[in-house]
Amino acid sequence: MGNHSEMILQSVTVPAGLFSWGNIGVLTKSIKHCPLDGLNLKQHYRPDVYAFEDILESSKQVMAIEESWPQQVQHLIAQRRLDPAAAIENADRVMQREFIYDHPYDMEPTNVVYHMDPITWQQTPNGDPEWLYMLKRQEYLLDLLLASQAQDDPKYLADAKTLIIAWIDANLTLPKTWRTIDTGIRLMNWAPVVEALMQAEMLTAADQAKIQDAVTQQMAYLRAHFTDHYLLSNWGVLIVTGPLVYGVLHPGSLTAEDMQWAMQELETMCDLQITDDGVHWEQSALYFLEVWRDLLAVQIAFDRYRRPVPELVTRKLLAMDDFAASMYCRITSCCRLGIVMRSRSTA
């Protein structure tokens, strides 16, 4: 990894092992599974998770971890540094075609499990179009990926492939049913899953061509529908970071022009949306989290392949990390003060 990633890895307040790369899927899911109190990312994990020096002793060690990421996932689980239970539970549901969106920071959460087999991609089971937005973003693919790695069971990864192909077959010819934010998120979610499928030799030449065609069409859609309005919205960040991560994990899948366009837009948005002290201007914990984790995904993916990231993007990312850490300190200090005051009042 490059120096920027090492700086982030040594300072970020999220599980250390998840940033030794392997895949962006575990990275993003681990942050999202964390039940946040404001920005209190630490409450869900053991303190020793934050001993970054134990995991990242050298760049050579990081590369060794990369080469056997599923084994590293299992090692983290054995050390109780990573709990895959929620991902496995959801993966098992998805394999039965049962869907619920109940991760702590899901954008459009639900509390009812719906069975949908076969999947009716254009027909919502509860009358709410937002349910379909979540379905089509395919974030559940990351749960299938983590379940496959955690349990060394290819059935989960095989089902992830089935769901990617199913989305393509049912949706690619219906771009009027797409949305820009969902498309960007979907490409982010596809990136590590397709990589894992390639490594496992689970994609035929025809599968690879079909997925590549789908990526090309989605990228063209994003460029055609991106407006200046997005420059001040977290939506814009989510729109371009997915293609950036997909493009760097799958060299040649996007044109150099597309990658340059996406990075230029991201740099502009980081400049406009994130203050020098790491505050996201929309003042939402959810939006902060989404922007932060997507910038982390871009930084780590690009560093993995030794691709440069604009200095401004890295600087804003580090500022967001510092802000998150300071928020954690404030929250815990307030909690401790409250405990002391309550103990005194009852003494």
Whether the pTM exceeds 0.75: the reply is yes
The tens digit of pLDDT for each residue in 316-346 reads 999 998 888 877 655 444 444 444 444 444 4
Span 250-271, mean pLDDT? 98
The residue length of the chain stands at 347
Q: Which residues of 147-158 are buried (b: 16+ CB within 10 A; e: fewer)?
A: bbbbbeeeebbe
Given a cut of 50, is residue 201 above it in pLDDT? yes
DSSP 293-328: HHHHHHHHHHHHTT----HHHHHHHHHHHHHHHHHH
Q: What's the CATH code, domain 3-345?
A: 1.50.10
pLDDT per residue as tens digits for the range 69-101: 777 788 888 888 788 999 999 999 999 999 999
pLDDT per position as a tens digit, 225-240? 999 999 999 999 999 9
Give the pLDDT score at 190: 97
- Name the packing angle between helices 140-151 and 85-95 (round to 10°): 110
Tell me, what amino acid is at 130? E
pLDDT > 90: what percent of the chain?
Answer: 64
Distance CA 188, CA 7 (A): 23
For residues 33 and 111, what is the distance between their CA atoms, to the nearest angstrom?
Answer: 16
123 burial via Cβ count (<10 Å: 0-12, 13-18, 19+): exposed
Closest-CA residue to 181 (of 233, 131, 129, 128): 233
Across 319-340, b (16+ Cβ under 10 Å) vs e yields bbbebbbebbeebeeeeeeeee
CA dist., res. 166 & res. 308, Å (int): 35
Mean predicted lDDT score pLDDT of the chain: 81
Express the helix, strand and coil content of the chain in percent, nearest 5 each.
Answer: 70, 0, 30
Is the pLDDT score of 309 beyond 90?
yes
DSSP E strand boundaries for 210-332: none
DSSP secondary structure code for residue 13 in this structure: S
Question: Over the stretch 7-61, which tens digit does the pLDDT of each residue have?
Answer: 444 333 333 223 333 344 444 444 444 433 333 333 333 233 333 333 333 333 4
| 3-class secondary structure, 115 | strand
